[in-house]
Amino acid sequence: MARTRRNVRFQHRITNGVEQRRHSSSDISDVASEPGSPGKNGSISKSEVIVEEKSVAPPMSEYEKKKQTFITRTIWTFVMIAGFFIAMFSGHIYVIAIVTAVQILSFKEVIAIANVPSREKNLRFTKSLNWYFLATTMYFLYGESVIYYFKHVLLVDKVLLPFATHHRFISFMLYVMGFVFFVATLQKGHYRFQFTQFAWTHMALYLIVVQAHFIMNNIFEGMIWFFLPASLVITNDIFAYVCGITFGRTQLIKLSPKKTVEGFVGAWICTIIFGYLITNILMSYKYFICPVTDLGSNVLTGLECTPNPVFAPKEYRLPEWTGLPRTVHVAPMQFHILVFATFASLIAPFGGFFASGLKRTFKIKDFGESIPGHGGITDRMDCQFIMGFFAYMYYHTFIAIHKASVGDIIETAITGLTADEQLELVRGLSKYLYNQGTVSEKVLSCLNGELVRR
């Protein structure tokens, strides 16, 4: 029996545009141990047929890719919306946790853009310093907020008092330690790159962490000051897309070629209408308009407060030539919402344009893949940061009622009075409360007796 010749080439068959090769008997000995190889009778096993069928399957078309992306994007949109509302109604502490997670993830995505060169240059401490500066900045900002809104709790606690009264100095020393470590780790030949990294880190801290801090302060002032600006930005983005594909003709800015002037203006008008309607709803619930006094509160327990006068309807007289009723009752908040909606429509989108320019600089499509179908957290929050910052500044400039709080008085007494003066203050307050009928004579005598003995 003649020996079969190895490596003999046979005529190839073309099936569905894929070249298939019929195995010879000499090939059987070489691939007999491979899955899907033909048996001794020359028949092809079922597994090989399946493999061949998979190999000749047509690639996914562009339409199918877009369809799959749209489905994924839609599902995760509803997941994020549901998660947001669940957190908001569960209590302020959960919304604060979401804001904290967002700023950490956004910082991570922005820093990751510049981290690859540092690994290539074998610079070991660059990433560690980034996270150290993030932790230091968050300690300072969160401490400032907690001390401001809960000083009546912190300043009377023996353990927390030193941290509260020396918070800024502690934060400064933490930053100085990071600064000294950065200078000590400078390597010859990489000075330019390391200083660029240092500047990049501080830019990310300012644009993300600092602005997110003001968003958190908005939550403490009342849920409406967090929810309303965020919803205006989201609504404006949706209406800009709808108006753009419907009426869009004129390009708005080269950084975002799909943005049109018609979509920009149409979204502005729609956002004002939405803002007016949603404000009417939110003003009727104290859970949204009351400042936070208890982080354990939620939509079921509710909040109690004297509402800010900005939410109370006032009477306005209209001129006769308008042909409308002579007097109307409108809450001042309805006028303020025009400013909020205008900023969300005309200024906040430039946060998105800034992010687009940043991505074009580094030639990336998205900041990350944190949200399937959407890209990174930063891609979704680029307009929210500047909007939250504006809401904080506008609220404290034109809306907030500045009055002394219990925490302010306690802080002044602790930091500005001696121990004897503090005792005298307590005696004076107790006597005043007794004269007002708030406390009994027994309480007054006991209190003064304890103070005298001490």
Looking at residue 384, what is its pLDDT? 92
Amino acid at 353: F
User: Is residue 152 included in any domain, yes or no?
Assistant: no
What is the dihedral angle through the alpha carbons of 29, 35, 41, 45, rounded to the nearest 10 degrees?
A: -160
Joined together, the tokens standing for residue 120 give 């290539």
Residue 453 pLDDT class (50, 70, 90 cuts): low
Whether 185 and 125 have beta carbons less than 8 Å apart is answered as: yes
d(CA 425, CA 433): 12
d(CA 239, CA 201): 34
pLDDT in tens, 111-155: 888 765 555 566 778 888 999 999 999 999 999 998 888 887 777
User: Is residue 50 included in any domain, yes or no?
Assistant: no
d(CA 39, CA 41): 5
Average pLDDT over residues 363-367: 80
Domain that holds residue 435: 406-450
Max avg pLDDT among 185-189, 210-214, 257-261, 390-394:
390-394
Residue 5 has pLDDT above 70, yes or no: no
Across 312-437, the runs of DSSP E, i.e. the strands, are 314-317, 327-330
- The residue ranking higher by pLDDT, 214 or 421, is 214
Name the least confident of 118-132, 233-247, 329-343, 427-441. Answer: 118-132
Joined together, the tokens standing for residue 166 give 């020396």
Can you spell out the DSSP letters for 42-58?
Answer: SPPPHHHHHHHHHHTSP
Residue 196 and residue 91 in one domain: yes
If you average pLDDT over every residue of the chain, what do you get? 81
Residue 1 pLDDT class (50, 70, 90 cuts): very low
Looking at residue 120, what is its pLDDT? 54
Residue 332 and residue 433 in one domain: no
User: Is residue 62 included in any domain, yes or no?
Assistant: no
Residue 332 pLDDT class (50, 70, 90 cuts): very high
Question: Domain ends where: 382, 399, 416?
Answer: 399
d(CA 18, CA 54): 11
Residue 369 and residue 412 in one domain: no
Report H helices in 121-221.
126-154, 161-165, 167-184, 191-204, 211-221
d(CA 46, CA 49): 5
Residue 274 and residue 415 in one domain: no
- The residue ranking higher by pLDDT, 355 or 67, is 355
User: Is residue 288 included in any domain, yes or no?
Assistant: yes
Residue 253's beta-bridge partner residues? 256
Residue 202 pLDDT class (50, 70, 90 cuts): very high
How many structural domains are present in the chain? 2
Residue 229 and residue 322 in one domain: yes
Joined together, the tokens standing for residue 73 give 């994007």
Residue 375 and residue 440 in one domain: no
Host H or E run for residue 260: strand 256-260
pLDDT in tens, 227-250: 999 999 999 988 988 888 888 888
Whether 36 and 28 have beta carbons less than 8 Å apart is answered as: no
Average pLDDT over residues 274-284: 94
d(CA 166, CA 27): 81
Residue 323 and residue 413 in one domain: no
Residue 266 and residue 330 in one domain: yes
Question: C-alpha angle with apex 268: 266 to 272, nearest 5 degrees?
Answer: 120
Residue 201 and residue 305 in one domain: yes
Look at residues 103, 105, 106, 85 and name the one whose alpha carbon lies nearest to residue 94.
85
Question: Domain ends where: 360, 384, 399?
Answer: 399
User: Is residue 182 included in any domain, yes or no?
Assistant: no
User: Is residue 177 included in any domain, yes or no?
Assistant: no
d(CA 145, CA 96): 12
Look at residues 15, 7, 232, 200 and name the one whose alpha carbon lies nearest to residue 116.
200
Residue 308 and residue 423 in one domain: no
Residue 17 has pLDDT above 50, yes or no: no
Residue 241 and residue 258 in one domain: yes
Looking at residue 118, what is its pLDDT? 54
User: Is residue 297 included in any domain, yes or no?
Assistant: yes
Question: Domain ends where: 358, 377, 399?
Answer: 399
d(CA 395, CA 68): 42
Residue 160 has pLDDT above 50, yes or no: yes
Give percent of the chain above pLDDT 70.
82
Residue 441 and residue 351 in one domain: no
Looking at residue 227, what is its pLDDT? 94
User: Is residue 79 included in any domain, yes or no?
Assistant: yes
